[in-house]
Chains A and B, each alone.
Chain A
Amino acid sequence: MNCTDFLAKLTDYFDGQIDPELLIEVKEHLGSCHHCEVVVDTTRKTIDIYRGHQPYEFPEELSERLRTAVMNRCKASVSK
């Protein structure tokens, strides 16, 4: 397996959806290719950082304001 083959399997590798036989090849490649090892490590960190640190706040005040507005519109549409 070369780097291009490995890259083509990266999404399945992250999602744990890879055939056991292919997984052996993937792991062998990772053990011998430092570049791909770095790509896997830093891509995993990219996903983890985005999952762990929501860049957009959703405060309770906003939640209540939106919910009130939505429900007012819904109730008004029913009573028409």
Chain B
Amino acid sequence: MDISREEIIHIAKLANLKLTEAEIEKTLFNMKDILNFANTVNKVNTDNVYESIGATQNYNVFRKDEIKEFGDRDILLSNAPEQEDGMFKIPKVI
């Protein structure tokens, strides 16, 4: 597995990141490094290894369907740069 310069630019665009030329080069280098590591790990024989989902063996951690109201809208909105009628005010979208 490898990654191209074009793919870096595409991913950066999807992530809303503006990269300078130098940053593109640096990211490309780092990404290749990560993929190299993954390629090495891929070579390990896993024939008898249990397939896991995630980094822990824990599973089925659920919550009961019981309402707990947070009840403080002001505090939830308190960091908003702008608010109106109990809502976050944002620049026009469409």
Partners in one complex: no
